[in-house]
Amino acid sequence: MSPQQVNHQHLTPLSFLARTAQTFPDKNALVYRDQSWTYAQFAARVNQLASALQSWGLQKGDRVAFLCPNIPPMAEAHFGVPLAGGVLVAINIRLAAQDIRYILNNAGARILFVDTELAHLVEQVRSQLTTVEEIVNIVDPLATTAHEPISGLEYESFLATGTTESIEPALVEEQELISINYTSGTSGKPKGVMYTHRGAYLNALGEALEVGLDSRSVYLWTLPMFHCNGWCFSWAVVAMGGTQVLLRKFFPKTVISLLMQEKVTHFCGSPTILIMLVNDPAIKKLQLTQPLKVTTAGAPPSPTIIQASEELGIEIFHVYGLTETYGPHSICEWQQPWDNLPLEERARLKARQGVPYIHAAEMRVVDKQMQDVPADGETLGEVVMRGNNVMKGYYNDPEATEFAFRGGWFHSGDLAVVYPNGYIELRDRAKDIIISSGVNISTIEIERAIYQNPAVLEVAVVAIPDAKRGEVPKAFVTLKPDVQVTETEILSFCRQNLAQFKCPKAVEFRDLPKTATGKVQKFLLRELVHK
């Protein structure tokens, strides 16, 4: 054995399961309704999936697509596919058939595993799939809608072609791809973001360290696993020997029940998820017998929702990142002197996006000349990052990769300010900022003000054309159930809490369009404005 082999081992999340299955073989790895699997059983099924893929003919680097909710096969795929030498492509289950077709063809997936509840989407485009050679049906008896399976093998039958015996990872170099995650494609076609074994390993450990995962942790899957591989918690929980509680579909009442029944210690979700939970009537029955830590990101959470969550005894971890950074890249690292501040002030501080993760290395806010903006809490600049959890690049798109990495940094497209203590705070996406009479107006600032109105459940602000000022804000508001408030009352509330030039010119009451991960799709609201 050479010196290099003695003192070097490739960083890969596959090592997490190997260690944990040996250390905690009889501990529950997965819980799904009334079923559970120990780590020994989980590892055996992962080995079966990997060996079945290899027996099928999977070659190193081949893309394997999964289109299914947060159910056991999705957890198994995060280890079984890379163990076989494949690259996992977990697809957004809320996409239209044509979007699914585009991703499968763009990724060049050879084999597709699909939940039968989503099979009709694949059937619509099956004749247009240029690389898929095999479709495997995942039959989940807990599916709420029955659809005919696609002709082909069933998941358990496919697994039966493999062996439960341990197989050696087909890994040669830690910079090999472990997954490709497609962006939401809100402006143009979705791009395939490439994750490596090394990046996934480090990001998973960063998650575990920052939110305090350990072998006693019980993690509830409210965040889709197809989104940034579940912010890498699909690997992080296994690294620490925790238990994953799987959830096919998010219902606030079900989640509240599971928090108590399974003694959940951690979950992740967008501010929208928190809003739905704290405003559901079932929340009155929540009685926590264990500390509950919730990691939120996806959109800047308002201090109002942070305060409402922490009043229930939930500790909020506010993180920030993008698909291109394996999910979270920064966290509002808590400072002990803040403990004694009033709850409202603590919530305001926690709404900041903070500083880079332990493993993430660097994050700056820069002007157009790539110079750092003053740390004055006022000057806007673009957030740029680099470090261990920045993507390898966009799959088969060197031009987009070069543009995203210009100047030696990943450009987020997010606008922020920096405070004197070095913490950043997002003010807007570059495409969402409102320029009114030559002055920048942050839609996030307006949304936070409107969230303080007790009648408001959700709000999103976009620009509308204005003959005098170029563009002005318009607020789209969803009210809480059984509450009535008028446009005039919302506008009056804004005038009491915002500078006059920042106040919306109009308010429209409606449900907000969202992505599968709870992000408001402002581009759809802008389309409504310009119809």
Give residue-wise pLDDT tens across range 324-358: 999 999 999 999 999 999 988 999 999 999 999 99
* CATH fold label, 250-429: Rossmann fold (3.40.50)
The pLDDT value recorded for residue 298 is 74
Using the predicted structure, report yes or no on whether residue 184 has a pLDDT greater than 80: no
**Alpha carbon distance 325, 200 (integer Å):** 10
Query: What are the structure tokens assigned to 373, written together?
Result: 């903006």
Q: Do domains 40-195 and 250-429 have the same CATH topology?
A: yes
Using the predicted structure, report yes or no on whether residue 3 has a pLDDT greater than 50: no
The pLDDT value recorded for residue 188 is 63
Query: What are the structure tokens assigned to 246, written together?
Result: 């799987």
CATH 3.40.640.10 fits 434-529, yes or no: no
The pLDDT value recorded for residue 1 is 31
The pLDDT value recorded for residue 431 is 79
Length in residues, the chain: 531
The pLDDT value recorded for residue 292 is 97
- Kindly report the backbone phi and psi dihedral angles of residue 494, in degrees, each rounded to the nearest multiple of 5, phi listed first: -65, -40
Domain 40-195 class?
A: alpha beta
**Model confidence at 219, in pLDDT bands (50, 70, 90)?**
very high
Query: Picking from 132-136, 150-154, 492-496, 501-505, which range would have the lowest pLDDT averaged per residue?
Result: 150-154
**Model confidence at 296, in pLDDT bands (50, 70, 90)?**
very high
* Mean of pLDDT over the chain: 92
Using the predicted structure, report yes or no on whether residue 20 has a pLDDT greater than 90: yes
- Kindly report the backbone phi and psi dihedral angles of residue 69, in degrees, each rounded to the nearest multiple of 5, phi listed first: -75, -165
**Model confidence at 124, in pLDDT bands (50, 70, 90)?**
very high
Better-predicted residue by pLDDT, 4 or 449: 449
Alpha-carbon torsion angle 46, 48, 49, 55, nearest 10: 150
**Alpha carbon distance 352, 333 (integer Å):** 9
Look at the block and give the residue holding tokens 């579940």: 230
The pLDDT value recorded for residue 230 is 96
Query: Picking from 118-132, 148-162, 185-199, 268-282, which range would have the lowest pLDDT averaged per residue?
Result: 185-199
Share of the chain above pLDDT 70, in %: 97
Q: Taking the domains of the chain in order of start, what are their residue ranges?
A: 40-195, 250-429, 434-529
Q: Which of 528, 441, 512 is nearest to 479 (CA)?
A: 512
The pLDDT value recorded for residue 4 is 54
The pLDDT value recorded for residue 433 is 82
Query: Picking from 112-121, 220-229, 294-303, 389-398, which range would have the lowest pLDDT averaged per residue?
Result: 294-303
Query: Picking from 163-167, 186-190, 193-197, which range would have the lowest pLDDT averaged per residue?
Result: 186-190
Q: How many CB atoms lie within 10 A of CB 183?
A: 17
Query: Picking from 287-301, 398-412, 413-427, which range would have the lowest pLDDT averaged per residue?
Result: 287-301
The pLDDT value recorded for residue 185 is 56
**What average pLDDT does range 237-247 have in this prediction?**
98
